[in-house]
């Protein structure tokens, strides 16, 4: 396989979104996972995502063919050897990310920029496992990557200006608006949204209002495009809980302690749109089924 200048490691939801966005921008990309089967499953996920856009007249079948032709699934980490940009999109676990970057440090070209897509973890701590902490930077993309126009570019303590500028250039390739973030737990978006989501879950758990009414209150009362409980479902309840736990560990503030209702749903495997159920139910395309609230809180008299 011909090596590409951009490599993504992790073919899950975020990796798929990044690969689709890069390929849509006209650039070749290699999508790596632990096995070729997982990487190819990621490619199928991208194909299904594009099919949904075709149904909405957002893309054509010719667009799909061109986009998929630019994405190369692989299980070979050595594909990163000559890449200019290597993006990590594996689960939000510090030790997993540190172990991956330690491996990449031995594989990648000395001039390669290594990017972690994390919403809460320390860029400096991840970069400390390498001999090139100045080349490590965070880019926190939000899901769905192809739709959300924002990316947070997060500088570690030793990230240099050349690395930052390459991250800016990459954001602009994807037509993203970017903000600069100086490393601090939760950055901007995660730190602000997590307590709001957590409080919405407590309001539901305490029986103050239904899931539908909570979402409608925030949409109609404050101009939210999406209600907080639907948003949590879209993000993935397991992902939201991992953010909360990471912030709780870093900052020791109770507002980040995951709501018991969230813990219950995650334990039961109800992870939101990607599993078909969370606070609401979803069809096989991830569309919310109207009037489908899965969860009711306890009444005030209980």
For residue range 67-84, list pLDDT tens digits in order.
Answer: 999 999 999 999 999 999
Instruction: Note whether residue 284 is domain-resident.
Output: no
d(CA 19, CA 59) in angstroms, rounded, equals 16
For residue range 94-142, list pLDDT tens digits in order.
Answer: 999 999 999 999 999 999 999 999 988 999 999 999 999 999 999 999 9
Number of domains in the chain: 2
Indicate whether this model's pTM tops 0.85.
yes
Tell me, yes or no, whether 115 and 72 share the same domain. yes
d(CA 153, CA 270) in angstroms, rounded, equals 31
Tell me, yes or no, whether 169 and 108 share the same domain. yes
Full residue range of the structural domain in which residue 251 is found: 194-275
Domain boundary among 152, 182, 212: 182
CATH number of residue 47's parent domain = 3.40.50.720
Tell me, yes or no, whether 212 and 71 share the same domain. no
With a cut of 70, which residues of the chain have pLDDT below it?
1-3, 291-292, 294-302
List the alpha helices (DSSP H) in the chain: 13-24, 36-55, 61-69, 94-107, 123-127, 161-173, 189-205, 211-222, 228-235, 237-251, 260-267
Tell me, yes or no, whether 171 and 204 share the same domain. no
CATH number of residue 266's parent domain = 1.10.1040.10
Tell me, yes or no, whether 132 and 204 share the same domain. no
Rounded to the nearest angstrom, the gap between the alpha carbon of residue 273 and the centroid of all alpha carbons in its chain is 14
pLDDT value, residue 292: 66
């Amino acid at each position: 396989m011909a090596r590409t200048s951009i490599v993504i490691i992790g073919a899950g939801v975020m990796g798929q979104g990044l690969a689709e966005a890069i390929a849509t921008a006209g650039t070749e990309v290699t999508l790596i996972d632990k096995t070729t089967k997982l990487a190819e499953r990621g490619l199928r996920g991208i194909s299904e995502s594009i099919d949904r856009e075709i149904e909405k007249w957002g893309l054509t079948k010719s667009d799909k063919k061109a986009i998929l032709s630019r994405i190369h699934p692989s299980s070979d980490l050595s594909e990163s050897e000559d890449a200019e940009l290597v993006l990590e999109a594996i689960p939000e676990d510090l030790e997993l990310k540190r172990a991956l970057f330690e491996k990449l440090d031995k594989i990648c070209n000395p001039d390669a920029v290594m990017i972690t897509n994390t919403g809460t973890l320390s860029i400096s701590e991840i970069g400390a496992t390498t001999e090139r902490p100045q080349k490590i930077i965070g880019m926190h993309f939000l899901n769905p990557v192809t739709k959300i126009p924002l990316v947070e570019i997060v500088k570690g303590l030793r990230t240099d200006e050349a690395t930052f500028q390459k991250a800016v250039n990459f954001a602009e390739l994807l037509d993203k608006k970017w903000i600069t973030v100086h490393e601090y737990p939760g950055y901007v978006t995660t730190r602000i949204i997590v307590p709001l989501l957590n409080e919405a879950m407590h309001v539901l758990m305490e029986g103050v209002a239904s899931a539908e009414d909570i979402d409608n209150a925030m949409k109609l009362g404050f101009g939210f495009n999406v209600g907080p409980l639907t948003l949590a479902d879209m993000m993935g309840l397991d992902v939201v809980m991992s953010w909360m736990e990471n912030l709780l560990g870093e900052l020791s503030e109770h507002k980040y302690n995951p709501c018991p209702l969230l813990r219950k749903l995650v334990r039961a495997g109800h992870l939101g749109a990607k599993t078909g159920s969370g606070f609401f139910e979803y069809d096989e395309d991830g569309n919310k089924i109207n009037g489908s609230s899965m969860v009711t809180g306890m009444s005030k008299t209980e």
